Amino acid sequence: MKRNLALVVFCLGWTTSCGDSLSADRPAAAAKMVAEAETELLALANQASQAQWIAATYITQDTEAISAALTEKAIQAGVKYAKLAATYDGVNVPADVARKLKLLKNGLVVAAPSDPKLSAELTKLTSGMEAHYGRAKYCPMPSTCQDIGQVSKVIAESHDPAKLLETWKGWHDTAQPIRADYVKYVALANQGARELGFKDSGAMWRSKYDMEPDAFAKEVDRLWEQVKPLYVSLHAYVRNKLRAKYGDKVVPASGPIPAHLLGNMWAQSWDNLYPLLAPPNADPGYDLSKILAGRKATAEEMTRMGERMYLSLGFSPLPKTFWERSMLTKPRDREVVCHASAWDVDNVDDLRIKMCIEPTGEDLFTIHHELGHSYYQRAYNQQPFLFRDSANDGFHEAIGDTVQLSMTPDYLVKIGLLTKTPPESADVGVLMKRALEKVAFLPFGLMIDQWRWKVFSGEVKPEQMNAAWWELRRKYQGVAEPVARSESDFDAGAKYHVPASVPYTRYFLAHLLQFQFHRALAEKAGCKQPLYRCSVYQNKEAGQAFAAMLAQGASRPWPETLKLLTGKSEIDASAVVEYFAPLKKWLDEQNAGQPSGW
């Protein structure tokens, strides 16, 4: 085996006559290589997942080192097979083999350089940056250090501009130490990507979407233009309300909104501001967090609520090991990464979620999101290993959020959290609260990778990283830094997904796909109400259609998988516009005569 693989690589450096002499055997060799890749990559992925789980739930130097070593092995194998897959370009192979070759070439998030020392350095950098985020604390005084959960609570609940600014700055300053590491990471990741034939890591990330990287960038722009008018209306309304509360000296009449005032550390969702922004006479008559706290709902009870939603659609119960191995609450005896995530440790049925659950409405929704990953992972676990993934990464993030859209007031009544459905007069308020989460997120979901693509390509130089970050936030979000920042800062690194090397465009796509999926499921369920009132809870027909799409995994190009459920082969943001149409009309009435845009 090693001899044959070496021959293939050796031939790359010479003329095509070397490959031509083996042309008769090339299809069989490609199939054999793919089979070997699936076997080896599955084993290494499982080992790395176990180590990464321990590193995330028992943060120590030792667990970090073990995770880095096993992750490096998996990355090196991925790079090896990505390069081998490229040697079969143009070879006539069966469709499933061709698909697997493409996934091998495009399957890496971080491509390690072939030099073992550089590969080890890159892996150490990525593991170290993520661990730094997990350990980071803002310490206004030595005895009062606060982790991300605690500072997020301050940002969500305080209405003191000075306190908000102090906390915002304190958390963002925690990322300064990894700025130099990120510059090194970019250089090494780009080197690995170029060895695979990509211009840079950003082009490699965009190549995963079954279209040319530049074409995908244009597709993202098209989708943003579909929803931008809705966001601009919401932004203008929020700015006017914040200005009325904090005054002209804190919030301008026009222009960007200061980032620390929006109820979220990164201003990526604004739903914590709902009490301030709620339309008159639109009180739904309940506070889900107060209901859960009043019932003293435990983390497991809340997770079981999420499971029952999926069971009502016809999905099977979670495995016993899920309840034994998941981390649902924050341990008292050690540091952990509390950022919510779903894990498929053995790529079959060792499903877990990692959260530090609190009895809040936000966490109940997050549980439904994370379980969406789990049920997707289970749905495609009969596929060959290389197809055990989502149609594209936006699909994976959209599944649980699609289910969230069925968590309507009617649903909450059915599961016993509410005693009655709120009146229709509350509809605009319900839509407002959801828009502050879903619509407010859209430009943030777009701009993080816009920034990284520019950093990877060199358009943004290392000495311009922080300035470029805020330039893009102003451009897309209409949000500005609340205090002067410099290039000694690394504000992008204060967001988990940047030091953890998690591509972010998936979340932008997911926030569009979930509405498209929801509309398709509502139609299959025969819902005749406005889209925002539709819930597919307990509808097996909708669940069956959903499961059929999930079972495809990555076995076919995502437009084909999308068409199975929606009847369309392109992402369509018109479902977002339809869902929020009553709110858009109301917002435009409120904004009449006021500045719009920034």
> Which residues does the annotation mark as catalytic?
339-340, 369-370, 373, 397, 497, 507
Which position has the token pair 């028992």?
58
Dihedral of the CA atoms 460, 466, 470, 473 (nearest 10)? 70
Q: Where are the alpha helices (DSSP H) in 136-212?
A: 148-157, 161-173, 179-195, 201-206
The partner residues of 257 in beta bridges, in order of sequence, read 479
- Please report the DSSP string for 218-233 in residue order: HHHHHHHHHHHHHHHH
| Separation of alpha carbons 233 and 228, rounded Å | 9
Token pair, residue 239, equals: 């700015």
Whether 400 contacts 372, CB under 8 Å: yes
Which is it for strands 257-258 and 479-480: parallel, antiparallel or unpaired? parallel
Residue 364, φ and ψ in degrees, nearest 5: -65, -40
Helix (H/G/I), strand (E/B), else coil: 476:
helix
Q: What is the DSSP letter of 146?
A: B
Question: Residues with Cβ < 8 Å from 348, sequence gap 6 or more?
Answer: 381
Q: Where are the alpha helices (DSSP H) in 415-531?
A: 427-457, 465-472, 505-524
Residue 126, φ and ψ in degrees, nearest 5: -65, -45
Q: What is the DSSP letter of 328?
A: -
Which is it for strands 341-344 and 257-258: parallel, antiparallel or unpaired? unpaired
Which position has the token pair 């722009």?
221
Whether 500 contacts 129, CB under 8 Å: yes
Q: How many other CB atoms sit within 10 Å of the CB of residue 116?
A: 11
Distance, CA of 77 to chain centre:
25
Taking each helix axis as running N to C, give the angle between helix 505-524 and helix 540-550, from 0 to 180 degrees, rounded to the nearest 10.
140
